[in-house]
Structure 1
Amino acid sequence: MELFTTVGTTLEGPNGRYRVIKEVARGGMGAVYRAEDLTHQRYVAIKEACLDPVACEGKRDQIRARLLHEMRILKPLSHPCIPRIFDQFSSHNNEYLVMEFIEGQTLMQIQQRTLRQKRLLEEPRVLGWLIQVLDALDYLHTRPQPIIHRDIKPENLILTPDGRVMLVDFGLMKQVEEQLSETGPLTEATGTVEYAPPEQYAQSGASTDARSDIYSLGATFYYLLAGRLPPRSVDRMMPLSIDVTRKPPSLRKINPTVSARTEQVIFKALEVDPEHRYQSAAQMRRALLPPRRFILLPF
C-alpha cells in the first residue's frame, strides 16, 4: 500500500476525477496536494489522511473521523473567506478531502519577508486583513450550531491575489454542543501553543467557545503588528512566584503606526479570562470600526 499519493496519480471520487500535480505540504499523518479536477476543469486542493497503522501510530480511526468531521461541517458553508468543499472519498485505505485551491501567501510568509527587510507591517494594511477574518468568524460563530476554529494563526490565513484573506485548516474545529467520544476527531485539539488560549488545554478544565478564537486572533494580529509573539497564555497562568512575562509589551512602543484604539482592542482580545475578552467577533469588529470610519482593504 502506498503511504502517500505520488505526483501524476489520478484519484476518483463521487464528484470528480483528480490528477495530482504537486505535493504542497506533508505532516506525520497526511499530506496536501494541488490537483487538477478533470471533471470540472479547475484546480483543487486534496487533503490526504494517511491511515497506515505504523505511520499513523495506531490512530487510524481518529484521523478518519477528523477528516469526515471536517467534511460534514464545512460542506454547507458559503463565505468568501472560507474555502469551499467539493468532494470526499476513500481509496487504498486512505481518506481524501477535496476543496477549493487557494492561491496566495500565508500571513506568516508575508510577515517573515517583512522582518527580513527589517520592517514592520503597517496598521492600515493589517487591519484590512483583521476585519475580513472577523467577518468570517462572525459567520462561523453565529451559525445554528456555532463552529469554533481553534487553530487561528498566521500560517492558517492566506492572502489571495485579489485581496481576500482566507481562513484555512479546520482540522481542529469544534461544533458547539456536539457530543464526541474519546476516540472522536477532537481528543487532541490543543492548537498551536503560541496562539492558543488557556481554556484550550485539557488540564485547564475549561471549555472552548467563540471567545477562544478571539484570543487566538488577538495573538495572531499582535504578532503581525509587533513582529514578535505575545507571552504564551500558559506562561501567563503560571503562579506569581515563577518569573515569566505576563503582560504583552506595548504595541505602540514597538510599531509607531499602531493607534491607541487598535492596541486597546488587541489587548482586550488577549485577556486570559474569557469573560474579559470581546464576547463575539461582531463586538470586536465594532470596537475596531466605530461608525463612519472606513479602512481600505489591501488589493
Structure 2
Amino acid sequence: MTVAAISQAGTDTRVVELPEVTDPRHVAPKDARALSKLFFEQLTVLEEGTPEYQYARNTLIEMNISLVRYAAGRFRGRGDDMEDIVQVGVIGLIKAIDRFELSREVEFSSFAIPYIVGEIKRFFRDTSWAVHVPRRLQEARVELAKASEELGSRLGRSPTVKELAELMNLTEEEVIEARLAANGYNSSSLDAALNGDENGEAALADFVGSEDPAMELVEDFHALAPLIAGLDARDRQIIHMRFVEELTQSQIAEHLGCSQMHVSRLLSRTLKHLRESMLTTR
C-alpha cells in the first residue's frame, strides 16, 4: 500500500509514492536499509513541514531504532537503565537523519552510529560528573588514577607530583590541575546542614547563588557572531529567515525566487561551514 504525496521543487510538481510501513519498529534491518534509502530520496523532494514530510522522517526514525539498540548495547553494565540510554541514543539518530545526504554515497547505518554513540558518551560524560569539567581534564583524571596506582604499587608509598608528571609525560602544573579537577567528580548534597551553624538549620544551598541557564550560550554566541558576520549577504539572509523568522525552506525559496532544492543546498553548505569553523575555534 502507498500514500500519494504532492512535492514541489521550484516550479516542478510531481507525485511521490510513499510506502506505507505498518509497524516501522519491527522492520528487519536488511529491509530497513533499502527502505531508508527510498525515504531519504523522498525527503529531498517533499516540502518540509507537510504531513508527508513528517511521515517520511518519523518512519525513518522508527525503522532505525534497531541501530540505537545495537549501539546502546556497548554501554551495558554502566549502572543506567537501558531504556534511558536508548532514549539518549535516539537523539543522536535524529541528528543523523537530519544531517544525512545521499550524495555522501555511504550507508546510513555507517553514518548514524558515530552520532548515536557520541550522544550516549556525551550523556555519560555530562551526568557522571558532579560539576562540568573540560573533557581533557576528565581524561587526565582517569590517567592520573592509573598512574597513581601503578607508582603506589611500585614504590610502596604515595607518589609525588614530580614522579606522576614524569610517568604521565605532563608538567607538574598539569598534574596538580588534574588532581583539582578530580574533586568535581563527587559532591556533597546542597541540603546537608553545615557544621558549626549555631541553629543547626543552615544548609550549603543557602550560601550558593543560582545558575543562569543563559550563561552556557554566551560562549557559543560570542564565537558564532563573527562567523555569521563573515558570510555574504545572501547566506546571512537565508540564515536569518530560517532561524530567526523560522520560515520553511519553501517559503525562503519563494522569497528569493529560486527552488527549494537550491535553498536546501545553500543552507547545508553554510551550516557546514559554520559548524567546522566553530569546532576550529574551540
Which structure: larger Rg? 2
For the aligned pair, the TM-score class normalised by the smaller chain equals under 0.3
Higher strand share: 1
The TM-score, its normalising length taken from structure 2, stands at: 0.26
The TM-score, its normalising length taken from structure 1, stands at: 0.25
Higher helix share: 2
